[in-house]
Structure 1
């Protein structure tokens, strides 16, 4: 960067943490915990907003709220929102739906009242500098992955094509389990009063199948589809495009 732009500076202090060009442009590197952090940016103007690993955001709330800050400092400055991501992760579903993948991959989506958008597919093989310096990197990715589906998503970047929708079924099941854990004490108190329901079930498209997560007396209902993906998992939960 310093060779490309003489006079370029990177300010490392916690307060600044930004890249500064001699012509006056600045690239601010900032952290956003969730949509509640939006208040720190409300009223700001950024002609370019970038997001790293978009599918790691469980919802699109923070992402959409920041569109209100994407505006030019003066006439003629183009405004852009750019994101990078791998398939897989808690936000897999909404990212796939927003960019209508895989049907609209590489094609601009234009809808009345919505910003035009496009998803451009890339693969690990395109990062030839990394693979030249570290040929065994794909092996390390496989070692780091929690399961074969995640390894395939990270290496092929094609999970949104090969699976129906939410391949990261473990993420949703974990969310159910987390919600369950947070209510255990409350349910136990209800059980002491005799008000807690007995048994528990999991409802999918009107079909009830018992999921004995824990014998506490909770009823979870999830109105999305379920489909079997061979040996990968017993049930996967996915939403409609």
Structure 2
């Protein structure tokens, strides 16, 4: 077989359509295997039940920019006459030079005209690519109200969730037999790290992609990447190496909990009868999330966060019902009394029967200080929960020492220090929150406070609940006998 035939066959093997590979071959575009996987995903957007957004991200140097322009120009733009595409890029002289270089290399065999002044690339069939740019987020507003059949966004995590949503309103079409779609490429980190991870990476990792498809990028995917550049990435350290060389989405610049490793700290299963002490913690919110974490300690001192309740704009009565339901999902052995019997005297009955965990089994149920603050009518949120049968106790509000204890319990597997804190995979919000938290620049030993946006993405509510859970210790009363009595 000729090199061209091998290339076409490889593309078909990776899921690309024959006409798609023919378009690439006619344009003289030769993509690498990972790029072909991304193009195969792009064609899934044609299906009525297919995705509408394709994400291609991870390590630097993986050929993401090359793929994005090739897919829009050599495939989409050639098979649909008059297609209008918008390619959004962060403004800068280097970016324009990169675009010029890519255009010449990719479209040398395709008839086209390019106006650098207008930022417009036009093909012989009337399809065109608008080279859009933005320096600040407000520049995105220049494109709102316009219509594009395809939108491509480079470095998508430089946009906030709100601005990304704004630009998606422009992705619409009046063409028959064409479904609008958005392609995006990016690296971990940036202001949009949290929403991009929630939109693309989490569904990909959990094998539940419906409206999206994600293709992870690695520097080793690109055989044409400069060897010296690869060496530069290899020689990085800390979060930069994990983000830019490994393409690790569990980290970000300034990450506080650097020992965090999803493959180490997240568990898929837990035997509830292993718990020797059960406790819960609540971080209150209304517009923000109210988060309740359920945890337990085993006989070796390990702490397991086994369940999570997270909702916003709910009143206490609704939360209370959900909390009780969360507890009832867990089965414990028939110990004498999980809350009041000292740990050293735990003795299960022979062949103990399992029963649902109850509120009365919790050794403590902590909450932040705001729950105990009196409102204008003299009531407290804690009082409302107490009337519903949930008696809350003030949590230890020492932020610095609380975060330090979480860090200590996370251990450091690279240094051979095994963790004593584990999270069950059902604690989705906590698992997403913990690796995204950053140092406070004005107080590096503290975590930078962040609020969830109006769509509920981001925020530190779950991490605060974990801090209450881990840092609040039970009170120990020391009884001494006085001499002479």
**Could you tell me which residue of structure 2 aligns to residue 77 of structure 1?**
178
Task: Note the residue ranges of structure 2 that are not aligned, 5 or more in a row.
Answer: 1-105, 257-394, 416-438, 440-444, 449-458, 463-485
User: Following the alignment from structure 1 to structure 2, what is the Cα–Cα distance between the partners of residues 81 and 206?
Assistant: 46
**Which residue of structure 1 lines up, in the alignment, with residue 191 of structure 2?**
90
Deviation of the 1:95 alpha carbon: 1.3
The Cα of 1:99 is off from its aligned counterpart by: 2.1
Candidates 26, 46, 68, aligned match of 2:148: 46
* Mapping 1:89-238, distance limit 5 Å: 89-101=190-202, 104-105=204-205, 107=207, 109-110=209-210, 116-130=211-225, 134-142=226-234, 147-157=237-247, 159-160=248-249, 163=250, 166-169=251-254, 207-209=397-399, 227-228=406-407, 230=412
In the aligned structure 2, how far is the partner of 1:100 from the partner of 1:126? 18
Q: Structure 1 residue 89: deviation in Å?
A: 2.5
- Contact 1:105 1:118 survives alignment (8 Å): no
Equivalent residues of 2:148, 2:170 under 8 A apart: yes
**Residue 107 of structure 1 contacts residue 118 of structure 1 at CA under 8 Å; is this kept in 2?**
no
- Report the CA distance shift for 1:29/1:151 in structure 2 as closer, same or farther (over 3 A): same
Give TM-score, length-normalised by structure 2. Answer: 0.32
Distance apart, 1:125 and its partner CA: 0.8
Aligned-pair Cα RMSD in Å: 3.6
Alpha-carbon deviation of 1:150?
1.1
* Deviation beyond 6 Å, 4+ runs, structure 1: 233-238
1:235 Cα deviation after fit: 6.5
Deviations for 1:12-56, whole angstroms, at most 9, x for unmatched residues?
A: 11xx11221111111111113445334322221101111111222
SS at match of 2:183: strand
Structure that is richer in helix per residue: 2
What stretches of structure 1 of length at least 5 have no aligned partner? 111-115, 172-204, 212-223
In structure 2, relative to structure 1, the CA distance for the partners of 1:72 and 1:104 (3 Å cut) is same
Normalized against structure 1, the TM-score is what?
A: 0.60
